[in-house]
Amino acid sequence: MTDFKSQIDLQKLPKHVAVIMDGNGRWAKRTGMPRIFGHRNGVKAVRETTEAAAEIGVKYLTLYAFSTENWSRPEAEVNALMTLLVATLGKELKTLTKNDIRLNAIGDLKRLPKDCYNELIKVIDQTKHHQRMTLTLALNYSGRWEIQDAMRKAAFAFKSGDVVNIEELDIEQYLSTQGLPDPEFLIRTSGEQRLSNYLLWQLAYAEFYFTEVMWPDFRKDDFYKALLDYQDRERRFGKTSEQLNV
């Protein structure tokens, strides 16, 4: 098997990788199992991806775990997902501590079920001094919700201030990702090629990577393979290739 990890140029790592973990339901259905079986098997992929990112030196990893639109799924699936989240957070504290990883969360967290919210806040607090990597879970998150929320906060703050001079940095301080650098790289599993309302502002200049691998099958090597693909890209930010290569 190809050793992807050893081929990665450590000087050219993205600081922040965002992931849309997709395909749990289809993965389960393929073997005649209920969708929640896929979600349960997705937990291993979360652990592998988190460890892979920390081990190679990625500083920020942001995983899309539940969108504001996911509330429209059958109630039983939503409940099962929330239960799984509480159980997983408790169990993964060991992995986070062992790897010196700080947990963070973005989204409309107050609307999560109480036990979920409490567990989340507890693990965030228990890992707040960890420094190797920040793992952010996007929970009850959507890009449009975030922009709406930012506008509400900004309107309040700017009530008596100078609205004409609002700049990018002013907007960023009201986003839930405030303090995190923009992701340079986005990975989506399961062959779907869309954003599904993820990090709409922050992904403005990210490189996108789509793989057919279903989330429950995603392993460290899949992550490293994706990083190698990223390192082959030329990020131009509006300039020409010639300008970059002088």
Q: Which residues bind Mg ion (CB under 5 A)?
A: 22
Which residue in 41, 83, 95, 196 binds ligand IPE (CB under 6 A)? 196
User: Least distance from C-beta 110 to ligand IPE, angstroms?
Assistant: 18
For residue 69, the minimal CB distance to ligand IPE (Å) is 6
Instruction: Assess contact for 115 and 88: CB atoms under 8 A.
Output: no
- Residue 194 as a binder of ligand IPE (CB under 6 A): the answer is yes
Q: What tokens does 204 get?
A: 């403005």
Compute the half-sphere exposure of residue 95: CA atoms within 13 Å on the CB side of its CA: 18
Cα separation, 58 vs 227, in Å, equals 10
Q: Does 101 bind ligand IPE (CB under 6 A)?
A: no
Taking the least distance from each CB to Mg ion, the nearer of 8 and 21 is: 21
CB of residue 192 to ligand IPE, shortest distance in Å: 6
Examine the residue annotation and report whether 70 is marked as an active-site residue of this protein: yes
Q: Which of 8, 46, 52, 65 binds ligand IPE (CB under 6 A)?
A: 65
- Of 8, 14, 17, 24, the one binding ligand IPE (CB under 6 A) is 24
Tell me if 120 sits within 8 A of 105, measured CB to CB. Answer: yes
Active site annotation includes 197? no
Interaction between residue 231 and ligand IPE (CB under 6 A): no
Cα within 13 Å of Cα(37), Cβ side: 9
Q: Which residues ranging from 211 to 230 are in contact with ligand IPE (CB under 6 A)?
A: 215
Q: Which listed residue (24, 41, 70, 182) is catalytic?
A: 70
The nearest distance, CB 168 to ligand IPE, in angstroms, is: 26
Question: Distance between CA atoms of 121 and 85, rounded to whole angstroms?
Answer: 13
Count CB atoms within 10 A of the CB of residue 115: 12
Look at phi and psi of residue 205 and say left if phi exceeds 0, alpha if psi is from -120 to 50, else beta. alpha
Q: Is 126 one of the binding residues for ligand IPE (CB under 6 A)?
A: no
DSSP lists the bridge partners of residue 210 as 188
Active-site residue list = 22, 70
